Chain A
Amino acid sequence: MTDMTLTVNGREHVVTVEDRTLLVHLLRDQLRLTGAHVGCDTSQCGACTVHVDGKAVKSCTMLAVQAQGCEILTIEGLAQGRELHPMQAAFHEHHGLQCGFCTPGMIMMALDIARRHPSPDAATVRAELEGNLCRCTGYHNIVKAVVAGAQRMGEPA
């Protein structure tokens, strides 16, 4: 067992974890942040995507202890009260989801894409979403949502 500190969505947490605990399980089971999903056991689906120190990573492919001292951002940290983040709003508007299982991971990856490509075209978004699988939508509306969301993030508020 290890005692550790990490910041999640701006709040500092002191937790005790088994060394083998995955970051996604710390978030879901101990901190009760169940937005990051576990969709596979081969690191391929991206449903568990969160940001660690500003970069999108698969939280199922990292130990919780490796996030010691890190800043974590999850889907729960995006909205301001009832006001959706522009990327969340874009997914809503463009029907970028059906069952919603992949959506938290898609949105966290979408924000990473927007960070690296301020106004991405559809081809860039498709290439960048390679590690995020969706079984419902066929991706077209997800791509539209990411393009629109990134655009909106770049506009003055």
Chain B
Amino acid sequence: MYELAYSRPASLADALALLAEDEGAQAISGGQTLMPVLRARLAMPSRLVDLLKLPELAGIRAVDGGIEIGAATTHADVAASGEVRAVLPALADLAGGIGDPAIRHRGTIGGSIANNDPAACYPSALLALGASITTSQRILAAEDFFTGMFSTALEPGEIVTAVRFPACQRARYIKFRNPASRFALVGAFAAQLPSGTRIAITGGGHGVFRWREAEAHLDSGGTIDAITEDMLDLAHFTGDLHGSAEYRHHIAAVIVRRALTALA
């Protein structure tokens, strides 16, 4: 690792000031993505600003019609939360399937969405459920937040403080797991919202996206069985040593049908 300095600010305001005064400073939350990146010398921040213990980023709260999760909430705490399980069981299940127990004890929802790994689990839930993201500056719809692989609408120095989800009993995440990395080779989040069916796919390679053709098919009375990869643009998928684009494309349709069947 390159040499760096570390700060643990006591408040969100102090964290924002630390990030603003030094262009090379970077936020760290659970560190379960950033630490391996630093160890591989793929990044060289001058200072790490630790968000994990910030009170403004803590806690899980019931809100009108849903639930709000502080950005520094760990995957383990979301998985074990009775409040989350009561209103959005699919999200508790998703969090409980990220990585392994040690990763879940430190990795956070804020870090996961700020990183927007194209194979990460959470972004598919936010996009499918139409979650909103509160930052130090503004409130963003998931639709506008995720802007491509490893890319988000966050400005430099902007901090995610919380994510707000609507309550939804009819939702399901299915992860087709890469057995080596434990990330999703492909993952699908399906939800039945009052406004209609929503399907988001992660792991394609270019970043999370909605499968609008399948959503429209179902909302106009089409059957689950009739959903095939022919309705899904192959251009959403890329290949790597773990699987070809065609393989991921095929698996995506299979797990979407499974997720939808589980909802029906």
Contact = CB atoms under 8 A, between A and B. Distances in A.
Contact of A56 (B32, B35, B39, B105): B105
A62 B31 contact: yes
Interface string B161-197: 0000000000000000000011000000000000000
Interface stretch (A42-50, A72-80, A140-148): A42-50
B98 to A, nearest CB: 11
Interface residues of B, number: 27
6 closest A-B pairs by CB: A131-B100, A19-B6, A130-B100, A61-B35, A55-B105, A20-B1
A57 to B, nearest CB: 5
Interface string B92-121: 000000011111011000000000000000
Given A19-B4, A19-B5, A20-B4, A46 B100 contact: yes
Interface of B: 1-6, 8, 31-32, 35-36, 38-40, 48, 50, 52, 76, 99-103, 105-106, 181-182
Contacts, number: 79
A61 B101 contact: no
Interface of A: 2, 18-20, 22, 41-44, 46, 49, 55-58, 60-63, 65-66, 68, 109, 112-113, 116, 128, 130-132
A61 B106 contact: yes
A113 B3 contact: no
A109 B100 CA distance: 10
A41 B40 contact: yes
11 contacts: A2-B6, A41-B36, A57-B102, A63-B6, A109-B102, A112-B101, A112-B102, A113-B101, A131-B99, A131-B100, A131-B182
A131 B36 contact: no
Given A49-B102, A128-B101, A130-B100, A62 B4 contact: no
Nearest to B180: A44
Given A43-B32, A58-B103, A131-B102, 17 more contacts: A19-B4, A20-B4, A20-B38, A22-B39, A42-B40, A46-B102, A57-B102, A57-B105, A60-B39, A61-B35, A62-B31, A65-B6, A65-B8, A68-B8, A109-B101, A112-B102, A130-B100
